[in-house]
Every structure is written in structure tokens, then in C-alpha cells.
Amino acid sequence: MTQEDRTLAVEHLKEALTYRTISSIEEDSVDFREYDAFLAFLKRTYPMVHEKMELTMINTYSPVYHLKGIEKVHLPVLLLGHYDVVPVEENTMMDWERDPFGGEVHAHHIYGRGAMDDKNQVISIMESLEALLHEGYEPGRDIYVAIGFDEEIGGERGARAIAEHFREKGLRFDLVLDEGGAVVLNTVEGVKTPLALIGVAEKGSSMIRITAYGDGGHSSMPQKGSSIEVLSQAVRNLMKNPMRPRLTAPVRGMLHGMAPFLGVKGILLRHADLTFPVLAKILSSSGVMNSMVRTTMAMTMAKAGSAMNVMPQEASVYVNVRILPGDTFQDVLSHMKKVNRDLDLSYEVLVKEEASSISPHDSEAFKTIERNALKVHPDAKVLPYLMAGGSDSRKYECVSENILRFSCVRMTKEDLDSIHSTNERIHVDNLFSMIRFYVELLREYET
Ligand SMILES: [Zn+2]
């Protein structure tokens, strides 16, 4: 990239961050004028993309760009991003070092909601295509870009509808690439090498409300077995009896890949299948690693009682279940009922989401991402991984076997913590890395 290209790319991301494209499940509170303005900004800023690529709008706000390839031998490639963002909580405003919607640069960082999730991705894809098209880029195969506008609230009207649109047209993709993994630094103890984590699967995130019942009455003469007491037993049973740990293909691949960096401990990882009974115990002691090997249950809200001196007739707890690929929602429900079989409880399903399918990590598609990630970050070790969070990409399972989740950014623990949080920002070098990655990747498809 020339210095001028870099300056422009920074300006473009800065402007992108000034549009308040904030998702909300309460439709009335969404300001769609901001979405219109953002889309107009894309059109104005990337004239080559809009001239050379066919644009289809899905549900008014999701642009799908299509660049025709000169042959039809290979399946097309689909690049994903989303431009909606999570809100900035009012009481955290004071903690932001820069205006979250100001598009400000400070100490080589571009600040703003969406700087890491996910306007950086949208802008990088656009910058790379704009530059390549200027040079007369002609891919062998078809290239598609699809941009979601409601990823943060589930992606039903964006990603789901786009995937359906592709499916109806009978399209299939060799590769679908979305946000998710990144090049992480100092996240695993003892590993100094940057790890380029490519997400090949996602856990499912479901919500179940468990309710216990008891007699009401005055708290001066309490009976045994109050609703809160029963609920406490249920919570304790769940905590003491987690679901069984299991090794999935991406986690096995990740552990194998990490083994050489961990000395003696690495032997356990290298033979993870054999050592799993022991290994699982060690992994379970870390929140992150535990989430990789089992379906987890987290109590996020509890509700009981309305007066200080009245026994509540009902007490309930909300459980966020993150389902490991291979387990099903029904397995989780059965497990909950089994460990609490002696208690009188009711279970209410609030959100039901199964785990995603697992994309292979020995595919050509995976190797392509690996190769190009290494061009930009030659010091990194590429590993498959299982995402605990969700992305739009799982909606595309109906149109591809190779769904990969990776942003070519280097992330410190601090950067990771800033996503969806205070002082979300991206280092300008990270923006340039992302653009370079997409340029390199797209060049692979050139004839
Ligand atoms: Zn995102």
C-alpha cells in the first residue's frame, strides 16, 4: 500500500465509525437514517466496487456485491462483514478516552464502536476490492461480498435472508469467510508465538429459565422447602454436575498445534485423545479452556420475592447454555432434569440455538486462509478453533461446507476486552494488515 492509500483507508474507517448504526431488538429505537447514510457513504467512497460489481439489496439494508469471474469451473467465494454495532452504555460514556462515534485517531489507534467489530472488516474488504479493481482485477471465479445489518441482534433479517437468497439461486460457495478468530498474542500461558485462530465452528447459545415453587406466607414462621431453597439446590446440582467434557475436531487440532510450544505439558496435548481423562481435568480449571471442551451453563439472572418479609411462591434462575458441537439442546435439557430429578421444577425454553456444524480444517479453503494469514503474519502459528460466541456465518451452512471465521488482526488481551466494551479501537497497522490480507487472498483467485 502506498502512503496515500494508507491515509485514505484510515479516513474511510474514521468516517464509517461516525454513523450510529446501532442494532436493537426494539425496532422503534433503531435509526434507519443512519443505515441509509452509511450505505450512501460506501457508494460514494468505493466507486469502482459500485461500478464493476453487481449490487443486490436484501431487506433494504444488506448489500450483496457480486463480481463475475471469467470461468465457471470453481465454486465462488463469499466474504462477510456487518456494519451494525452494539450500543454504548450511557454510564460508560465517561470512560471512553475518545468519542465512540467521533471517528477519532489517538496514538495510532482509531477509536469507536465498531472499530474491531465489525466495520474494520467491511472497510478492509471494500478497500481491497477498490484497489484491485483499479488495477484491472479479474478473478477466475465469482466473488461475492455480503454485509449484514443486524448481526448483533441475531442476523435474521440480514445474514439469514441473504443465505436464503443464495440458496434459492442454487449457489454454493467454496469458502465463506466471516469475522471470528484473529491473531492473538499472549493469551495462552507459556506460548510466546502469536496464534492465528481460525474459527471452524461455533457453540450454540440458548437460554432456559428454571423455576422452583414453594408455599407463600409470612417470613416469621418459615416452612422448610421454600422456593429459594429448592432453587438453590437446583443451582448447586447443576454446578456440581457439569456436562461431560468431550474433544471435538477443532479443539483436538488446536491442542495438537499448541503442543510444540508447551514443553513437557505439550506431551499431554499431543496425545489428547489418550490423555483426555487427565487433560480434561486440567483444562476445566480455566474458564476459556473449559468452554472449549464442554457445554457450559452460566446463571445470568435470578428472580424471587417482592417483599422483605414475605415468602416468595416462585423463584427462578436464567441459565445461558453454550452448546458444544455434538451435544444437542435436548441433551442439555435432559441433563438438567436428570441431575434435579428429586426437585419439583419447571423448565422454560426462552432461546433455543443448537451448535453450528464443524468445517474441516484440512480443506483447501482452510489452507488458503492459512497461507494468506502467514503472508501478513509470518511469525504466527495457524490453528483451528471453536468459537464460544456467535457470528452471522452459521446462517450460511446451507450454502457451504467451508465456513471459516478469521480477521487478520493482531489482538492483545486488551484489544479483545475492548470489543463490545469501552474504548473499542483498532491500531492503524491492524487495519493495513487486514486490507493486505484481503488483497493477497483475492489475488489467489486471479486468473
Ligand atoms: Zn461482529
List the chain domain ranges. Answer: 3-182+358-444, 202-351
pLDDT at 416: 79
Three-class secondary structure assignment of 336-402: HHHHCCCCCEEEEEEECCCCCCCCCCCCHHHHHHHHHHHHHCCCCEEEEEEECCCCHHHHHHHCECC
Question: What is the Å distance from ligand 1's center to 40 Cα?
Answer: 21
Question: What is the Å distance from ligand 1's center to 117 Cα?
Answer: 5
Place of cell 469502482: 48
Whether 151 is a known active-site residue: answer: yes
Give me the CATH code for the 3-182+358-444 domain, please.
3.40.630.10
pLDDT at 190: 81
| Contact present, 301 and 318 (Cβ < 8 Å) | yes
The pLDDT tens digits of the residues spanning 80-124 come to 999 999 999 999 999 999 999 999 999 999 999 999 999 999 999
CA 301 to CA 209: how far, in whole Å? 9
Question: What is the Å distance from ligand 1's center to 276 Cα?
Answer: 33
pLDDT at 28: 87
Number of residues that make up the chain: 447
Residue 317: its H or E element: strand 314-323
CA 412 to chain centre: 17
Question: What is the Å distance from ligand 1's center to 421 Cα?
Answer: 13
- What pLDDT tens digit does each residue of the chain (447 aa) get? 899 999 999 999 999 999 999 999 888 889 999 999 999 999 999 999 999 999 999 999 999 999 999 988 999 999 999 999 999 999 999 999 999 999 999 999 999 999 999 999 999 999 999 999 999 999 999 999 999 999 999 999 999 999 999 999 999 999 999 999 999 998 887 889 999 999 999 999 999 999 999 998 899 988 889 999 999 999 999 999 999 999 999 999 999 999 999 888 899 999 999 999 999 999 999 888 899 999 999 999 999 999 999 999 999 999 999 999 999 999 999 999 999 999 999 999 999 999 999 999 999 999 999 999 999 999 999 999 999 888 999 999 999 999 999 999 999 888 878 888 899 999 999 999 999 999 999 999 998
pLDDT at 412: 86
Q: What are the DSSP calls for 144-212, one per residue?
A: EEEEES-GGGT-IIIIIHHHHHHHHTT--BSEEEEEEEEEE-S-STT--S-EEEEEEEE-EEEEEEEEE
| Contact present, 393 and 403 (Cβ < 8 Å) | yes
pLDDT at 187: 80
Catalytic annotation, pick one of 151, 179, 392, 424 = 151
Same topology, domains 3-182+358-444 and 202-351? Answer is: no
CA 336 to CA 70: how far, in whole Å? 55
Question: What is the Å distance from ligand 1's center to 295 Cα?
Answer: 22
Which residue, among 228, 205, 239, 245, has the nearest Cα to 349 in the 3D structure? 205
CA 280 to CA 272: how far, in whole Å? 9
Cell numbers for 311: 415468602
Burial of 66 (0-12, 13-18, 19+ CB in 10 A): middle
The pLDDT tens digits of the residues spanning 286-319 come to 888 899 999 999 999 999 999 999 999 999 999 9
Pick 202-351's CATH classification: 3.20.20.70, 3.30.70.100, 3.30.70.360, 3.40.50.80.
3.30.70.360
Whether 164 is a known active-site residue: answer: no
CA 119 to CA 7: how far, in whole Å? 17
Question: What is the Å distance from ligand 1's center to 119 Cα?
Answer: 9
Helices 3-18 and 32-45, interaxial angle, to 10°? 170
Catalytic annotation, pick one of 84, 117, 127, 327 = 84
| Contact present, 433 and 408 (Cβ < 8 Å) | yes
Indicate the SS3 state at residue 325. Answer: strand
First to last CA, the chain: 22
Question: What is the Å distance from ligand 1's center to 151 Cα?
Answer: 7
Place of cell 487440532: 253
| Contact present, 276 and 241 (Cβ < 8 Å) | no
The pLDDT tens digits of the residues spanning 386-404 come to 998 889 999 999 999 999 9
